[in-house]
Amino acid sequence: MDFSLTSEQQMFRQMFRDFAARDVAKAADQADKQEELPARLLKRVAAQGFMAALAPEEPYGGVGLDAVTYTLLLEALSAECMSAALTIHVHNSLGLRTILRHGSAALQEALVAEMAAGERIAAFALTEPAAGSDPTCLRTAAVRDGDAYVLKGEKSWVANGGLAGVYLVFAQLDSRITAFALPAETPGLVVGGRQKTLGLRAAAITRLYLNDCRAPAENLLGAEGQGYKIALEALDFGRVGLAAVALGVGRRAVELGVKFAAERVQFGGPIGQKQAIQDYLADAAAEVAATEWLVRHAAWLADSGKPFGQEAAIAKLFASRMAAQVTNRIVQVHGGYGYITDYPIERYYRDARSLEIMEGTTQVQQIVIAGGLFAGTNVRVRP
């Protein structure tokens, strides 16, 4: 089994890293302070084709990246700005890919070309104030009305809310979860203000209000009652992407720690000469290396058409913990300087904390993994 990158993947990785270092890095700190990504950066991202990362070249003009190469993109972007990486991840992994897999021909014709061009960013609206880790508690309701559906309810923690040109919305239809794609211009669709967060301050995370929104039948994703399955499928792939985001954060944190430890002088020499600092950095580097192979394996399974849900959960569980622990250690390496905004590690620390919560908390990943372990036995794994 060979997980080495092909020459084409190596070329893409360098291109992604060059773009991130040139265009994303210089915008990251200001975006965090202003709590939004600059419009010019999003235009540059679209011009590079990153909004079309998972769209096929024909007929949509997409890039058609395989899963492994796609994770290299997210890793490179998150090493500079996790908010930018999350924006592109949600658009591609949860939005574009889901519409390509489950949208009608008419829906794809209407939306995908604009999504691939970055003219319609996608948002994923599953979570509600009373339905987080348990999506079966959704209260947003859909009723059939002739050749359309009418949706009413409220969503929270909608990533890309406000930026989006299309919202993937999950609702209860006759007590079965059903998925819809709603263009942002749909009458009755109202985006709330940005939800204030500890980190990811440049990411657009909002509430969403659905006031009798009409969705034509062709905007249904899959069939009636398939929404829960569609959501889980999207989240499986999304967890591979989030693990790659965590990998980029962890890798950059180690680089920042090494740089600071080599330059910071205390007790007559660089603090990198101290065993305690070396131990912090060595442990962090080992965890980053382990994460890389978990991500690579899960993405390889996805590319191979093999089941990867268990591996995605493992990668996301380990990677999110790694990012939180590594950034915490590197703040400690920086000492007091790690606690002020003059140094970027505090932003990475704040951003990384979200990874153990979004797209399935640590505890949800443990349930998924345990379910796989006990498959075929008489033990039923429940929350």
Q: What is the pLDDT of residue 223?
A: 97
What is the pLDDT at residue 3? 79
From the DSSP assignment, how many helices (H) and strands (E) are in the chain?
Answer: 13, 10
Q: What is the pLDDT of residue 75?
A: 98
Active-site option among 75, 80, 292, 359? 359
Provide the strand spans (E) within the chain.
121-125, 141-145, 148-159, 164-173, 176-183, 189-194, 205-216, 220-221, 265-266, 269-270
Tell me the sheet residues that pair with 29: none
pLDDT tens string 305-340: 999 999 999 999 999 999 999 999 999 999 999 999
Structure tokens at 119: 């003219």
- In this model, does residue 84 exceed pLDDT 90? yes
Dig out the tokens for 50 from the structure: 């990153």
Tell me the pLDDT tens digit for each residue of 127-149: 999 999 998 899 999 999 999 99
Helix (H, G, I), strand (E, B) or coil at 206: strand
Domains of the chain and CATH, by start: 7-120 (1.10.540.10), 122-225 (2.40.110.10), 229-373 (1.20.140.10)
**Contact criterion met (CB below 8 Å) for 93 and 244:** no
pLDDT tens, 6-28? 999 999 999 999 999 999 999 99
d(CA 303, CA 68): 7
Tens digit of each residue's pLDDT (9 = 90 or more) over 27-53 = 999 999 999 999 999 999 999 999 999
Question: Residue 174 pLDDT > 80, yes or no?
Answer: yes
pLDDT (0 to 100) of residue 169: 98
Q: How large is the average pLDDT for residues 209-213?
A: 98
Neighbouring C-alpha atoms within 13 Å toward the C-beta of 355: 36
328: left (phi over 0), alpha (psi -120 to 50) or beta: alpha
Q: What percent of the chain has pLDDT over 70?
A: 100
Mean pLDDT of all residues in 216-237 = 97
pLDDT at 1 over 80: no
What are the φ/ψ torsions at residue 244 (nearest 5 degrees)? -65, -40
- Beta strands at 121-125 and 164-173: parallel, antiparallel or unpaired: parallel
Query: Is the preceding peptide bond at 135 cis, omega within 30 degrees of 0?
Result: no
Cα–Cα dist 175/136, whole Å:
9
- What pLDDT does residue 168 have? 98
pTM for this predicted structure? 0.97
Q: Secondary structure of 100-165 in the HEC alphabet?
A: HHHECHHHHHHHHHHHHCCCCEEEEECCECCECCCHHHCCCEEEEECCEEEEEEEEEEEECCCCEE
As a dihedral over the C-alpha atoms of residue 351, residue 288, residue 328, residue 367, rounded to 10 degrees, the angle is: 70
CA dihedral 248, 299, 242, 282 (to 10 degrees): -40
pLDDT tens-place string over residues 250-303: 999 999 999 999 999 999 999 999 999 999 999 999 999 999 999 999 999 999
Q: How far apart are CA 318 and CA 338, in angstroms?
A: 24
57 noted as active-site residue:
no
Q: What integer pLDDT is reported at residue 383 of this predicted model?
A: 86
pLDDT band per the 50, 70, 90 thresholds, residue 164: very high
Identify the pLDDT of residue 73.
Answer: 98
pLDDT at residue 2 in the model? 78
The band of 125, judged by pLDDT with boundaries at 50, 70 and 90, is very high
For the chain, give the mean pLDDT: 97
